[in-house]
Amino acid sequence: MTNFKDRERGEEAKYAMDEETAFKVAARRNRLLGEWAAGLMELTPEETDAYKKAVVQADFEEAGDEDVIRKLLGDLTAAECDVSEDDIREKLAEKTVEARRQLMEDN
């Protein structure tokens, strides 16, 4: 019985760690996406910092990535940048890989 309880606790700890890692990757990815979009919109360094935070905040609106994609697409369209939703989704995938790599290097 003890082995089962130990294994159960181990699985719960692993799940919690996986969830924390996923959250960190998404937050870092969103900052990287914000930096990319700010560059396209030619924002100042101060505006870029604020924009990166706004992109991270946008991810808390709903589950999944659609809220971030919607924000980026709306902002880039308003700034008259020639970027499609597919471009943003491609960049999102690219920045996810980069964020994961950065987190692994930090640890």
pLDDT tens sequence for the chain (107 residues): 577 677 777 777 676 777 888 899 999 999 999 999 999 999 999 999 999 999 999 998 888 899 999 999 999 999 999 999 999 999 999 999 999 999 999 86
d(CA 14, CA 56) in angstroms, rounded, equals 25
The 3-state DSSP class for residue 68 equals helix
How many C-beta neighbours within 10 Å does residue 2 have? Answer: 6
Is the distance from CB of 65 to CB of 95 less than 8 angstroms? no
According to CATH, the topology of domain 2-106 is Major Prion Protein (1.10.790)
Is the distance from CB of 54 to CB of 38 less than 8 angstroms? no
